[in-house]
Amino acid sequence: MSNPIKDVPLAELAGVEKQAFRDAMAHLGSAVNIITTDGEAGRAGFTASAVCSVTDTPPTLLVCLNRSASVYPVFQQNQVLCVNTLADSHEALSNLFGGKTPMAQRFAAAQWVPMASGSPALTGALTSFDCRVSQVTQVGTHDVLFCEVIDILSNDSSHGLVYFDRRYHSLIRQLPQAR
């Protein structure tokens, strides 16, 4: 059977404007994460919603990082990182790591403990995934970092944080039913 899109000359396909894409993406709720690294290029961190699970064999996440971000060269050189998934108390911290703030000021706003890779785990994060970058693919403005998970720290008591419709929302964890 013929593929109707494949048979249309590319020049005749309408395409989608960047703003329309962003407006549509604002409808996809996502977890909020602070991605950290430490190593020979120094310490750095940024907020990321473009994070997802790739495979459990070997356990692998992907993180999309804009190559124009100030932190980009640090991540490129260190090749290790920690994905810290934020709890509902971390909204202000997410904004600090979301750009423009000097790196020392970002890290001074919370407590951190080094994971095996040397990357900082955020105290109180829902989960911290310690990773080594196993593969990198460039797509448009971003690098897609494939990150093999080498250790995990979890906290099963905090409520979650979701970014949806350009705003933060708390994701309330159900408490176990009293008997």
Ligand X SMILES: Cc1cc2nc3c(=O)[nH]c(=O)nc-3n(C[C@H](O)[C@H](O)[C@H](O)COP(=O)(O)O)c2cc1C
Out of 8, 22, 113, 137, the only residue in the binding site for ligand NAI (CB under 6 A) is 22
Residues 43-62 that bind ligand X (CB under 6 A): 46-50
As given in the structure block, the two tokens for residue 61 are: 């996440």
**Which of 41, 54, 62, 64 forms a contact with ligand NAI (CB under 6 A)?**
64
Candidates 25, 52, 113, 116: give the one binding ligand NAI (CB under 6 A): 25
Residue 90: partners with Cβ closer than 8 Å, 6 or more residues away: 32, 34, 122, 124, 125, 161
Q: Which stretch binds ligand NAI (CB under 6 A): 21-29, 54-62, 143-151, 152-160?
A: 21-29
CA distance to 5, 70, 139, per residue, from 84 (Å): 40, 19, 24
Task: Report the nearest approach of ligand X to the CB of residue 37 (Å).
Answer: 13
129 Cβ neighbours under 8 A, 6+ residues apart:
61, 82, 83, 85, 147, 149, 151, 152
Count the residues of the shown chain that bind ligand NAI, applying the rule CB under 6 A. 10
Query: Which of ligand X, ligand NAI, none binds 26 (CB below 5-8 Å, type-dependent)?
Result: ligand NAI
Q: Segment near ligand X (CB under 6 A), from 1-9, 18-26, 68-76, 151-159?
A: 68-76
Cα-to-chain-centroid distance, residue 74: 16
Task: Assess contact for 162 and 121: CB atoms under 8 A.
Answer: no
Applying CB under 6 A, the residues found at the interface with ligand NAI are: 22, 25-26, 49-50, 64, 66, 98, 141, 166
